[in-house]
Structure 1
């Protein structure tokens, strides 16, 4: 048995292809399935089964389309209400995938009908735990419904322990979430790999023997999650098709200006440093990188058209990334020749050198602000800023976050709205080094 990992660092998730040298099972594939198909072709294995551990809340699945293309059985929990044909699988059910045996295990908690899959081959076990048992923690339990969080947290605790008890200590563990995904909770880590035995000594779901303490602690530490999550499960229940990853013909600069004049969302993918130095008025800075998808999807109004401007490679990659959260066929534009503007970037040393305290806007999450903030700083989390931009106090605004990334997006939104802004592009942990409190 060989397990191949397909990382999606932009969303903090992993998909898996497990094979016996001839046939393969794919677990929790992302929507851009060409990555899976290229891997299978390179390995010379045939995809005969595709499995979902749960109906995902943080991305659109490629499972249905992958199964269709390869005439593979699509394993989805029998209890799930979905709008497409699949191979319903129930807890305790086993099936053969080539010379491997795949057994479904009930692991409710992250979602109500969550399944884990235990794959056995020649005396070895591999556990595909989805959003149940993660490295160091478990999947969050507040994504189904607020009134179900407590009961699902109890279920998650019991599921994780039951799953660990069912398999050997040396069984390798392969979660879908926990690598920066907001679907994880508590002290989840992004470790390269782990075993169930290691988790028995390191995972708080397995080391905390007081269920109520675990429940209280997990719920108390749940933080805000991206607003686009609300759209993922309904779309996954309907069954997403293949994404269109075609890069469209770029709009001419005049057409981009028309979009801006009409209040459209034009997203500049360049670095926040380059954007601050010079950009077309009205554009929004969302620097392309691992955080791009999450914060664009969380910050800009869902469903409104967007147009991307930037280097060709970044545009191509951004179109792929956005397809994973259902942002379909964004436009592409050119801005050459259009007049530019800019704003200041500063560090904590610049703020400390001022004789007065300017308007400070902290765009970190509310829990981050509560944990420590500068005296007098207003807190409007980045994901609320478009809706609450009128609440920002008057005057020149110095905007900060934890690293400068979110503050760069926020500064561009404020500048778009006509505000004088200074982007504090510095690490939050360094503020105290400059005597700021």
Structure 2
């Protein structure tokens, strides 16, 4: 078998195509299936199966679209209660594709319905572990309390994860290759490696989960200091349980307005241009969530700041960027919330207040400083002793906590989040200037 790993870096997502002669099985495909179709054409092969390790919280899968367009059989655990046409795939179930044998292991812990796909050919074994086993970590167990229709308590799932790691994986060989669905940067775990694969033997040596034999200690470590849960996670679980609509059809009718010159808008505007362009001029009601580079975690922050079913419009850099933006929004299933997408024409747009760094450094007490980093970051240490800490994903709901008797300076750890945070604060607070410290925060680390 030949295994092709695909990576979508903004969501730290890995998906897989397993070439079995002239047939292909996919594991946990992303929203846009084009790359899988191109891979199939390059190898003169047919996609015949799609395995879903669980209903994903952090991205929308294209499994239903692939089924409709290729006829591929969809496989998922019976515990999912999937609403799309599928075959159940649980402990003991076997699927033979070419010379490759696929078997299922129920591996609950991240979710109650998680499975690991075991692919074997001759002496080779590959483990597609979904969000159960990562490189260097295991999946977080706290997403299903409030995410999706199928609820499960974090303590119960943490206990299930302990059993999965200490019992279920026991008989598998050390030379089995582990292929997870996420790497570093995903919010589905806390300390995973950026590596895309490892051997099971290496994980048994180096992954804390295989080296914590006491159940209580395992659970305490697993539950401690997990990242925040974005608004969109539960929404995506339900989309994936039902099966998402065709990508191109779902974005085809979103209106595009080129060179728009209307300043006023009642819509919430998500302006995705670089911060310099945003600060030089933007529409009213705008939040600056940049989406021009792979390292811009646009999808994560869009789904953390904007709630599911909350309508918004977007500003793009240019026409080509507008097309790319629609695809990125659809990665988390938010395309149905987009009312319109704009590029900006000539207008005396709203300009952001620019911080005088010299004055700021000389008199920090003259400013209200808002630290919008995550809780784990601020617990590790503040850059400014008297900073008010409100994580970015909570900022809209907690804006009333920010005093307005002094100018406000917003900072994060490097500048990307503070561009968004300062634009949110400036939208809500008009009584005093609101500034973005930007990358100047590096001088205070």
Report the counterpart of residue 263 of structure 2 in structure 1. 257
Report how many aligned residue pairs link the two structures: 428
Counterpart position of 1:435: none
Q: 1:280 to 1:339 in 2, by over 3 A?
A: farther
Deviation digits for residues 45-79 of structure 1, max 9, x if unmatched?
A: 21111100011111222112212221111101022
Report the TM-score when normalising by structure 1.
Answer: 0.92
1:212 aligns with 2:219: no
TM-score by length of 2: 0.90
Please say if residues 171 and 196 of structure 1, whose CA atoms lie closer than 8 Å, have aligned partners that are also in contact. Answer: yes
Offset at residue 232 of structure 1 (A): 1.3
Q: Is the 8 A contact 1:256 1:333 kept in 2?
A: no
Structure 1 residue 280, shift from structure 2 partner: 3.2
Structure 1 stretch displaced more, 240-249 or 83-92: 240-249
What residue is the counterpart of 1:181 in the other structure?
Answer: 186
Show the counterpart of 2:305. Answer: 299
SS across alignment from 1:314: helix
Q: Which runs of 5+ in 2 are unaligned?
A: 147-151
RMSD: 2.2
The answer on whether the counterparts of 1:347 and 1:425 sit within 8 Å (CA) in structure 2 is: no
Distance in 1 (CA, whole Å) between partners of 2:182 and 2:364 is 46
CA contact (8 A) 2:56 2:237 kept: yes
Query: What's 1:426 paired with?
Result: 439
Alignment partner of 1:120: what SS? strand
Q: Provide the residue aligned with 1:332 in structure 2.
A: 341
Mapped contact 1:280–1:338 kept (Cα < 8 A): no
Counterpart in 1 of 2:228?
224
Change in CA separation of 1:221 and 1:3 when aligned onto 2, cut-off 3 Å? same
Verify: 1:271 aligned to 2:274, yes or no: yes
In the other structure, the counterpart of 1:320 is 327
What's the offset of the Cα at 1:293? 0.8
- Equivalent residue for 1:127? 127
- Matches of 1:60 and 1:273, distance apart in 2: 31
Alpha-carbon spacing, 1:372–1:284, altered in 2? closer, same or farther (3 Å): same
Distance in structure 1 (CA, Å) of the matches to 2:323 and 2:253: 6
Offset at 1:38?
A: 1.8
1:226/1:294 contact within 8 Å kept: yes
- Residues 115 and 339 of structure 1, relative CA distance in 2, 3 Å threshold: same
Alpha-carbon distance in 2 for matches of 1:398, 1:71: 55
1:279 aligned counterpart, secondary structure: coil
Deviation at 1:216, TM superposition (A): 0.4
Unaligned runs of 5+ in 1: 433-437
1:165 CA drift (Å): 2.1
Aligned mates of 1:6, 1:325 — CA distance in 2: 18
Structure 1 residues 145 and 255: alpha-carbon distance in aligned structure 2, compared to 1, 3 A threshold = same
Does residue 168 (structure 1) correspond to residue 173 (structure 2)? The answer is yes
Structure 1 residues 129 and 323: alpha-carbon distance in aligned structure 2, compared to 1, 3 A threshold: same
**Using the alignment, how far apart are the partners of 1:272 and 1:206 within structure 2?**
44
Is contact 2:275–2:288 with CA below 8 Å preserved after alignment? yes
Contact 1:280 1:339 in 2 (8 A): no
DSSP-derived class of the 2:345 partner: coil
Give the 3 Å change call, closer, same or farther, for CA 124–61 of structure 1 in structure 2: same
Could you say what secondary structure the match of 2:276 adopts? helix
Q: Which residue of 1 aligns with 2:85?
A: 85
2:231–2:307 CA contact under 8 A, matched in 1: no
2:169 is the alignment partner of 1:140: no
